[in-house]
């Protein structure tokens, strides 16, 4: 996951986009997009203390937050299925898709 908080912190220190990208291992385009969205949304340092990384991501990239909402696997059901005769991991992957 992209470290949005660190990108904002380094930009606030005066580093340019290329330097930030190099320091964190992101492309300068990624850094530029994060900074552009932060400016559009009015997100600036200091960030509220109760604002977590996930909430920050949802503020800057709401479309990514929607993609990340995966259903939790039903481990109890999978354990039951494994107990059945002739059940393999391949069967479990089919079950997990259906859940």
84: which residues sit within 8 A by CB, 6+ positions away? none
Domain residue spans of the chain:
4-67, 70-99
Q: Which two tokens stand for residue 14?
A: 């005066």
Q: How confident is the model at residue 58 (pLDDT cuts 50, 70, 90)?
A: confident
- For 70-86, what is each residue's pLDDT tens digit? 555 666 777 777 777 77
CA 5 from chain center: how many Å? 12
pTM of the model: 0.62
Query: Largest Cα–Cα distance in the chain?
Result: 63
């Amino acid at each position: 996951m992209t470290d949005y908080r660190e990108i904002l912190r380094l930009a606030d220190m005066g580093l340019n986009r290329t330097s930030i990208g190099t320091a964190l291992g992101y492309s300068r385009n990624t850094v530029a997009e994060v900074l552009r969205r932060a400016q559009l949304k009015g997100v600036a340092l200091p960030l509220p203390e109760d604002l977590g990384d996930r909430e920050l991501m949802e503020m800057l990239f709401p479309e990514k937050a929607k993609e990340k909402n995966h259903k939790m696997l039903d481990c109890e059901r999978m354990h039951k299925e494994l107990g059945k005769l002739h059940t393999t991991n391949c069967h479990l992957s089919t079950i997990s898709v259906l859940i």
